[in-house]
Amino acid sequence: MQRFRWRKSRHSGPDRCCVEVARTSDDTIGIRDSKGHPDRIILVNRAEWATLLTTIKAGASNSG
């Protein structure tokens, strides 16, 4: 099993309700829900991660 060093946004509150991300040595990105089961991880490559971030940012700018 790959070992992850999880991090979350500094904008996250102390209640642990956030999304955490980690990068492995082979540049795979792990994504998990901090309040969920620790073994439920979505793995994406760098291109998929970039697409996800672009989509999220576009949605955020369209929701205002």
pLDDT (tens digit, 9 = 90+) per residue, 23-55? 988 889 999 988 878 789 999 999 999 999 999
**Residue 32, class by beta-carbon neighbours within 10 Å (0-12 exposed, 13-18 middle, 19+ buried)?**
buried
Which of these, 16, 55, 60, lies nearest to 38 by C-alpha position?
16
Q: Based on the structure, what is the number of domains in the chain?
A: 1
Q: What is the pTM of this model?
A: 0.74
What whole-number distance in Å separates Cα of residue 44 and Cα of residue 56? 15
Q: Is residue 48 domain-resident?
A: yes
Q: Is residue 2 domain-resident?
A: no
Q: Which domain holds residue 18?
A: 7-62
In the structure, what pLDDT confidence band is assigned to residue 17 with cuts at 50, 70 and 90?
A: confident
Q: Is residue 55 domain-resident?
A: yes
Q: Is residue 15 domain-resident?
A: yes
Q: Are 19 and 34 in contact (CB under 8 A)?
A: yes
Average of pLDDT values for 4-14? 79
